[in-house]
Amino acid sequence: MKNLDQLVRPNIWRLTPYSCARDEFKGRDAHVFLDANENPYNAPLNRYPDPLQEDLKRELEQVKGVPSAYTFLGNGSDEAIDLIYRVFCQPCKDNVVAISPTYGMYQVCAHINDVEYRPVLLDDGFQLNADRLLAATDERTKVIWICSPNNPTGNAMQRSEIERVLTCFEGIVVVDEAYSDFNQLRPFRFDLPSYPNLIVLNTFSKAWASAAIRLGIAYASPQIVTLLNKVKYPYNVNLLTQRQASEMLRSLPKLNQWLSTIRTEREHLLPAVAELSHCRKVYPTDANFFLARFDNADQLYHYLVERGIIVRNRSRVALCEGCLRITVGTPQENCELLAALRQYKA
């Protein structure tokens, strides 16, 4: 890996971040707070929340097994994605490389930040080839984006290929593991000590069943976490979100029950869809959704909409021609979907 000061934008490297009232005073035993121009009434919502979410990070450390010094929390993973551009990529100068097809936000944030985005197609089995990704980089490539399990294809990328990218690339490698709780593979967040250039994204939006609260995690070296914290809005994760997240962290039995139901449903749903006469292929998945190719995906998509069932039409995405992306729902929802698919006549 290059030295961090060669990878970070010079203005960010030099930046003196905003210092808020809650940063300056850190003691625990004060009881009269007259430092932040808050209204003294309406507790607890009258107070600014902890800008570094330290209580929540300690609870997260217990569940996820990563020290809190390696943890950044944001307003969804989407905030972390945008911050990675703002910390590392100089507009109109630097570029990033990403697998393709993949999650759309990497490209949208590149365009917002005026950073060149270089997509590299996966192979026919939706696997990434480290050599092809590395061949797309040059001396101005700051970040490589990898999503595993990948959205919209559903499959996990081969660990050995990701490790090759991490070892051979001199810049930052992001591994987005939004869906890692839906499989038994070893997550990359445990490999941070081996790779100082690794950033792993996790989210409360999928397995943690909390998309509404907007909470995303970026795991990285303490040096990178400090940079992300310097650039974020001071109070980027609000109090209600911090509280609800700790509530979920204390609800592990319920969450594990939901995950196990989703896995069982996935095992029933995939073969049932594969058997339909108008389904050409169901792709294997390591996530809570799967990609399936149909004879007439556009028409089938609109037929399902007519019946009040919404799936994601990916039929115009590279390598996903004719494909719909389907999320595993409750047993009742999956039954309704299958009944509709069986009644469909092309």
Ligand X SMILES: *Cc1c(COP(=O)(O)O)cnc(C)c1O
Q: Which residues bind ligand X (CB under 6 A)?
A: 76-78, 103, 147, 151, 176, 178, 203, 205-206, 211, 216
Phi-psi region of 308 (alpha: psi -120 to 50; beta: other; left: phi over 0): left
Question: Per-residue DSSP letters for 39-80?
Answer: -SSSTTTTSPPPTT-HHHHHHHHHHH---GGGEEEESSHHHH
- Look-up: residue for tokens 């294997």? 284
**Structural contact between residues 72 and 80, judged by C-beta atoms closer than 8 angstroms:** yes
Nearer to ligand X, 78 or 265 (CB): 78
- The CA radius of gyration of the chain, in Å to the nearest whole number, is 22
Instruction: State the nearest-atom distance from the C-beta of 101 to ligand X, in Å.
Output: 11
Which token pair is 18? 């905003």
Instruction: State the nearest-atom distance from the C-beta of 132 to ligand X, in Å.
Output: 20
Nearer to ligand X, 221 or 241 (CB): 241
Which token pair is 205? 């939006």
Beta strands of the chain (E only): which ranges?
71-74, 95-100, 116-121, 141-147, 172-176, 198-203, 216-219, 279-282, 289-294, 312-313, 323-327
Instruction: State the nearest-atom distance from the C-beta of 45 to ligand X, in Å.
Output: 24
Cβ count within 10 A of residue 317: 18
**Dist CA 282 CA 225 (whole Å):** 39
Instruction: State the nearest-atom distance from the C-beta of 200 to ligand X, in Å.
Output: 11
Instruction: State the nearest-atom distance from the C-beta of 95 to ligand X, in Å.
Output: 21
Instruction: State the nearest-atom distance from the C-beta of 270 to ligand X, in Å.
Output: 19
**Structural contact between residues 132 and 120, judged by C-beta atoms closer than 8 angstroms:** yes
Residue nearest to ligand X (CB): 76
**Structural contact between residues 101 and 319, judged by C-beta atoms closer than 8 angstroms:** yes
Nearer to ligand X, 77 or 313 (CB): 77
Nearer to ligand X, 4 or 208 (CB): 208
Nearer to ligand X, 4 or 311 (CB): 311
Nearer to ligand X, 51 or 216 (CB): 216
Nearer to ligand X, 51 or 152 (CB): 152
Instruction: State the nearest-atom distance from the C-beta of 83 to ligand X, in Å.
Output: 12
